[in-house]
């Protein structure tokens, strides 16, 4: 499909889905639902293709004669064991969920520990390269939140003033996360509008 045809289809599909949310029309609603169902199916197929590609790449790394990567064997064994357990026990099984949780939680905790060290290292490098007030604020905030979340100040819960202060500080990451989500939403909206207006044509090939 060349650019004019694919552009017309993309714009028409986007406008129909958008109008289906805001205009209560009995003809638009089933068309919008059908288009969304197609998008979900295509996304699922794309995810399946990505999984197959992941397995293929790691198998090639494992079977390579030069620079054989044995970590790929761990990934493949873990993937197929999880897939087999999920097919036999089903994802709704409590035992299967507990096994996944017992593996996932320590991995996430390890990644968060690495992230904490990375933040401190990044703040030190930033302070060395750019000695501005933003670098100072970043380093101080990183240190403060690492100290607070480490549990060293757990005794502060008994002091009303410190308790309220810590509660206010703990709300700051939530506000930052909401700001990031708002930024993602605005970016997605802008990207969608650019596709609808044919300013961006990712489908043109």
Q: Does the pTM exceed 0.85?
A: no
The pLDDT score that the predictor gives to residue 161 is: 74
Q: What pLDDT does 1 receive?
A: 45
Mean per-residue pLDDT pooled into runs of 10, the chain (205 residues): 69 82 81 90 93 92 83 89 88 87 88 81 75 74 74 68 74 79 87 76 63
Widest distance between CA atoms in the chain: 68
* Cα 82 to Cα 190: distance, rounded to the nearest angstrom: 38
Q: For residue range 143-158, what is the model confidence (pLDDT) as tens digits?
A: 777 777 776 666 666 7
Residue linked to tokens 């999920």: 86
Residues 6 or more apart whose CB falls under 8 angstroms from that of 169 comprise 144, 145, 148
Mean model confidence pLDDT for the chain: 81
Q: So what's the pLDDT on residue 44?
A: 93
Q: Give the pLDDT score at 155.
A: 66
State residue 49's pLDDT score: 95
Residues whose CB falls within 8 Å of the CB of residue 58, separated by 6 or more in sequence, listed in order: 69, 72, 75, 76
Q: Given this model, what pLDDT does residue 67 score?
A: 80
Neighbouring residues of 138: CB distance < 8 A, sequence distance ≥ 6: 123, 126
| Per-residue confidence (pLDDT) for residue 47, from 0 to 100 | 92
- What pLDDT is stored for residue 26 in this prediction? 81
Do residues 29 and 47 make contact, with C-beta atoms less than 8 angstroms apart? no
pLDDT for 3: 64
């Amino acid at each position: 499909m060349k650019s004019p045809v694919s552009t017309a289809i993309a714009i028409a599909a986007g406008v129909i889905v958008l109008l289906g949310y805001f205009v209560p029309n009995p003809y638009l609603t089933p068309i919008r639902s059908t288009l969304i169902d197609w998008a979900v199916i295509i996304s699922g197929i794309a995810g399946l293709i990505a999984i197959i590609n992941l397995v293929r790449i790691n198998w090639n790394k494992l079977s390579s004669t030069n620079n054989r990567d044995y970590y790929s064997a761990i990934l493949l064994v873990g993937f197929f064991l999880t897939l087999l357990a999920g097919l036999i026990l089903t994802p709704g099984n409590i035992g299967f969920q507990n096994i996944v949780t017992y593996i996932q939680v320590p991995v996430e905790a390890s990644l968060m520990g690495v992230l904490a060290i990375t933040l401190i290292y990044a703040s030190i490098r930033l302070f060395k390269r750019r000695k501005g007030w933003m670098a100072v604020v970043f380093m101080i905030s990183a240190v403060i939140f690492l100290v607070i979340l480490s549990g060293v100040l757990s005794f502060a819960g008994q002091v009303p003033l410190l308790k309220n202060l810590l509660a206010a500080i703990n709300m700051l990451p939530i506000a930052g996360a909401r700001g990031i989500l708002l930024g993602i939403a605005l970016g997605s909206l802008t990207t969608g509008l650019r596709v609808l207006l044919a300013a961006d044509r990712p489908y043109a090939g």
